[in-house]
Amino acid sequence: MTYVLLGQDLHETADGAKKYFSQNYGATQFKCEQSVRENLPLKPTWQAKLKHGYTLCVNVQPSPFSHTLHEFVNSCAANGLAIKLWVAVSHGGAKDSFSAELRKAHENGIGVLQFGPDGTAHEHNRAVPLSLFALRKTVLKDVPTVCRELVKDAEATFLDGAPDKGCQAICQELERVTRAFAETTYNLGMWTAPKSSKTYSSKFFQTDPWAAMLEAMESRIDVTAVRGKCTGFSKQLIVQSRGYTDWRNKVSHAPKTLQQVQARDARLRTMYEATRDLLLEWYPVAKPFKVLK
For 79-108, what is each residue's pLDDT tens digit? 999 999 999 998 865 567 899 999 999 999
CATH of the domain at 69: 3.40.1350.10
Region 189-205: mean pLDDT is 92
Same domain, 157 and 260: yes
Residue whose C-alpha is closest to residue 85's, from 40, 117, 116: 40
CA-to-CA distance for 171 and 174, rounded, in angstroms? 5
Give me the pLDDT at residue 96, please. 74
For 4-13, what is each residue's pLDDT tens digit? 999 999 999 9
Give me the pLDDT at residue 34, please. 96
Give me the pLDDT at residue 93, please. 54
Same domain, 271 and 158: yes
CA-to-CA distance for 49 and 200, rounded, in angstroms? 53
* Per-residue pLDDT at 128 exceeds 70: yes
- More confident call, 159 vs 20: 20
Beta bridge partners of 188: none
Region 120-141: mean pLDDT is 93
The answer as to whether 189 is a domain residue is: yes
Same domain, 120 and 145: no
* Per-residue pLDDT at 54 exceeds 60: yes
Residue whose C-alpha is closest to residue 180's, from 153, 146, 157, 140: 146
Per-residue b or e along 84-96, where b marks 16 or more CB atoms closer than 10 Å to that residue's CB: bbbbbbbeebeee
The answer as to whether 184 is a domain residue is: yes
Region 209-215: mean pLDDT is 96
For 217-273, what is each residue's pLDDT tens digit? 999 999 999 999 999 999 999 999 999 888 777 776 778 788 888 988 999 999 999
Same domain, 59 and 82: yes
Give me the pLDDT at residue 241, please. 96
Phi-psi region of 52 (alpha: psi -120 to 50; beta: other; left: phi over 0): left
Same domain, 83 and 55: yes
Region 160-168: mean pLDDT is 89
Q: Which of 125, 155, 179 is where one domain is finished?
A: 125
Region 37-57: mean pLDDT is 92
| Distance in angstroms between the alpha carbons of the first and the last residue of the chain | 56
CA-to-CA distance for 282 and 170, rounded, in angstroms? 13
The answer as to whether 130 is a domain residue is: no
pTM: 0.83
Same domain, 67 and 151: no
- The mean predicted confidence, pLDDT, of the chain is 93
Give me the pLDDT at residue 252, please. 67
Residue 51 lies in domain: 8-125
Q: Which of 125, 152, 187 is where one domain is finished?
A: 125
The answer as to whether 134 is a domain residue is: no
What total number of domains does the chain contain? 2
* Per-residue pLDDT at 158 exceeds 80: yes
Query: Hey, what amino acid is at 242?
Result: R
Same domain, 77 and 165: no
